[in-house]
Amino acid sequence: MTPRPSDRPLGSSGLTTPPLILGGNVFGWTADRSASISVLDAFVAGGGRMVDTADAYSSWVPGHSGGESETVIGDWIAQRGRRDDVVIATKVGFELFGSAGLAPDRIIACAEGSLRRLRTDYIDLYFAHRDDPGTPLDSTLEAFHRLVTSGKVRAIGASNYTAQRLSEALDVSAVHALTPFTVLQPEYNLVERAKFEGPLQNLCVERGVAVVPYFALASGFLTGKYRGKGDTAKGPRAGAAARYLNPKGLGVLKALDDVAAEAKATPAQVALAWLAAQPAIAAPIASATTVPQVEELVGALRLTLTADQLRTLDAASR
């Protein structure tokens, strides 16, 4: 087995992970069960340790109802016969089986469903998948706290929260002595910077919240495989990448190509290494559907960009 890179702390959660997280949104969707298990095996063999999923994955696919990704990961955990050497993150909040939101009873029920599908008795990191303004923050946080004190969840995080709502949630936890959100999962990458940089990133730095961005490769755009209109007809995620086919996006690809050539890496590896170097970032999340893709991703674990290379990418993506 390849030696694992040094683990990084996930804020004050008590969890640690190497500087890359495997996204599980593709499991049971664009990667069937067999391919998914091969990807998971290759990720761990390459030095990876943390896998991110959600109860709603992949409910958007015709014929799916949600829970497909968790089920595949649960099969993998059972098949390998070991649980404590991997970190599993999942989420609650999006629509699943006809209900949505972060009402306390729903959080508890959805956690039990995730535990069954994952075939485990604890979730390492449990995210609020998106904010629920219709439920008081203290009620939501009390439900998460109950899961932590019962041992079913080890740490909690927030996904898709604004700076204001995350700040309010941290304050509520402090006032009521509840388990706080210690990890944030926002959308953030070289072509999507405005949503995170500024107040939200500053808050995470100031309050010690670890950040694990999703869409780290911008739906595959930052791999460099989508460079023209003809490329965006390839695969179910290509349409999302098409919106970056503009002068700014192409300029980012040019900078990635230049840095990749200099660093003897691939554009995807460079894009992930740029993210890992940003303030508050603990580890980016990236998905893969094949073993060669995994091998490319884990190469980013060992890539450190120079200050000049970081400046080149920063300038191209502003």
Q: Is the dihedral of CA 225, 229, 231, 235 positive or negative?
A: positive
Q: What is the mean pLDDT of residues 30-37?
A: 97
**What single-letter amino acid sits at 91?**
K
Torsion of CA 291, 293, 299, 305, to 10 degrees: -170
Where is 316: in which H helix or E strand? Answer: helix 307-317
Distance from C-alpha of 139 to C-alpha of 161, rounded to nearest angstrom: 17
Residues in the chain: 318
pLDDT over 60 (residue 4): no
Other Cβ atoms within 10 Å of 110 Cβ, number: 26
Q: Catalytic residue numbers?
A: 57
**Least confident segment among 1-5, 222-226, 236-240, 305-309:** 1-5
User: What confidence score (pLDDT) does residue 3 get?
Assistant: 46
Q: How many C-beta atoms lie closer than 10 Å to residue 162's C-beta?
A: 15
Say what the pLDDT of residue 240 is.
Answer: 81
pLDDT at 74 over 90: yes
Residue type, 39: V
Per-residue model confidence (pLDDT) at position 1: 37
Percent of the chain at pLDDT exceeding 70? 96
Q: Kindly state the tokens that stand for 29.
A: 């969707």
213 and 185 Cβ atoms separated by less than 8 Å: yes
The class of domain 8-242+271-304 in CATH terms is alpha beta
Identify the pLDDT of residue 236: 63
* Domain boundary assignment for the chain: 8-242+271-304
Cα 284 to Cα 51, 176, 278, 281, distances in angstroms? 11, 31, 10, 7
Answer for the pair 55, 19: CB distance below 8 angstroms, yes or no: no
What is the per-residue pLDDT across 129-171, written as a single tens digit (0 to 9) for each? 999 999 999 999 999 999 999 999 999 999 999 999 999 999 9
| Res. 5: pLDDT tops 80 | no
Give the global pTM.
0.95
| Tens of pLDDT, residues 207-263 | 999 999 999 999 999 999 998 876 655 666 667 888 999 999 999 999 999 999 999
Please state, in angstroms and as integers, the Cα–Cα distance from residue 64 to each residue in 42, 109, 230, following that order: 26, 20, 29
1-15, 274-288, 293-307: least confident range: 1-15
* 83-118 confidence digits (pLDDT tens): 999 999 999 999 998 899 999 999 999 999 999 999
Report the pLDDT value the prediction gives residue 242, as an integer from 0 to 100: 87
216, 230, 206: which is closest to 279 by C-alpha? Answer: 206
Q: Is the pLDDT of residue 2 over 60?
A: no
Q: What ranges make up the beta strands (E) of the chain?
A: 8-9, 16-17, 21-23, 50-52, 87-92, 123-128, 153-159, 181-185, 210-211, 285-287
What is the pLDDT, as a whole number, of residue 7?
Answer: 84
Compute the distance between CA of residue 179 and CA of residue 177 in angstroms, rounded to an integer: 7
pLDDT number for residue 232: 58
H-helix or E-strand spanning residue 206: helix 199-207
Q: What pLDDT sits at residue 19?
A: 86
CB-based contact 265:299 (threshold 8 Å): yes
Distance CA 81, CA 41 (A): 12
Averaged pLDDT of the chain = 94
Single-letter code of the amino acid located at 298: V
Single out the residue of 82, 89, 4, 5 nearest to residue 45, CA to CA.
4
Cis geometry, peptide bond prior to residue 12 (ω within 30 degrees of 0): no
